Amino acid sequence: MSATATKVRLNREHCRTLLHQMLRIRRFEEKCAELYTQEKIRGFLHLYIGEEAVAVGVMQPLSPEDAVVATYREHGHALLKGVDPGAIMAEMFGKQEGCSRGRGGSMHLFDAATRFYGGNAIVAGGLPVAAGLALADKMAGRKRISACFFGEGAAAEGEFHETLNLAALWQLPVLFVCENNLYAMGTALDRSESETDISAKAACYKMPSEWVDGMDVVAVEVAARRAVATIRETGGPFFLECRTYRFRAHSMYDPQLYRAKEEVEQWRGRGPILRFQKWALEAGELREDDVAEIEEEVAREVADAVAFAEAGTWEPVEDLLRDVGAERRP
């Protein structure tokens, strides 16, 4: 494995990139929460606030040709993969200019052009999709990786074990990324799993596996670069467990009675953006005017995305059955 493939250069430019991407996700998510209370976004809404370091760190070594498969908490992943922010916001508004023509909403973002394959509402549903994409690439001789993000709740599902087993047996180029936020939907990990070390479960399938502090964007990037370099060298899978925490409820409907407010505040104190920004400023890699400039850039992008969604159009009623099923014949 090349040493340069796993090295992270924390110069001003890269620090700015990491902070910009995390703030981009955070401000987009905060706006979504605001729009949800105004009933402009309806249905389910699962926010990524607090977990930004995972998506940002993991995405750094991936190439545009690599595929990404995510869960229903996927707005940040879609943004980083290159899906247009306006198309994402329009999708959540239910407008036909959305990336899924307004039919999928928050949980079903999709964009084949950027190789972003969901947005999957079923827990662990994305794992076999990622394995299928990787198998297709391997059979076609394409040197690409399929990165699959999922929560620790997926470890209780059959698809998790079946997919890891096949990926190891067939040596598929899949980067499995477990975003372990400790509570799945609303049950503490140690109340649902006898083995709470998810990376240990993956190791049982004889694939390289490790865990990392998912609140430290630099640590995540270092681990991701090591994982991606291993996959590109061996052609086989790698499992990365990122131990993180969501600051908001599971979804906007969740009363969040299963964890103490004090616990949430303790985790907020070591939040990924706060932690990285403080370090970058103290280390002299970023200045206060850098942060202000990033905030302005992100605010403009979010405002433009909302304006695009607001100006969008509803799908004509006569088109609603399109792509739903087989054409009805007399």
For 148-175, the DSSP string reads EEEEGGGGGSHHHHHHHHHHHHTT--EE
Please give the residue range of the domain that contains residue 119.
Answer: 3-14+41-81+106-288
Residue 197 confidence (pLDDT): 95
Tell me whether residue 153 is in a domain: yes
In a domain, residue 128? The reply is yes
Q: Which CATH number characterizes residue 240's domain?
A: 3.40.50.970
pLDDT at residue number 1: 42
In a domain, 28, yes or no: no
Rounded to two decimals, what is the model's pTM? 0.94
Q: CA-CA distance, 278 to 272, in Å (whole number)?
A: 10
Instruction: Return the pLDDT at 155.
Output: 96
Q: Count up the domains in the chain and report the number.
A: 1
Question: Per-10-residue mean pLDDT for the chain, 330 residues long?
Answer: 61 97 98 97 96 98 98 98 98 97 95 96 96 98 98 96 98 98 92 94 97 98 98 98 96 91 95 97 96 98 98 91 72
| 177: in domain | yes
Task: Give CA–CA dist 50/242, Å, rounded.
Answer: 12
- Is 200 in contact with 144 (CB distance < 8 Å)? no
Residue 52 placed within a domain: yes
Cβ-contact 55, 316 below 8 angstroms? no
Specify the pLDDT at position 2.
42
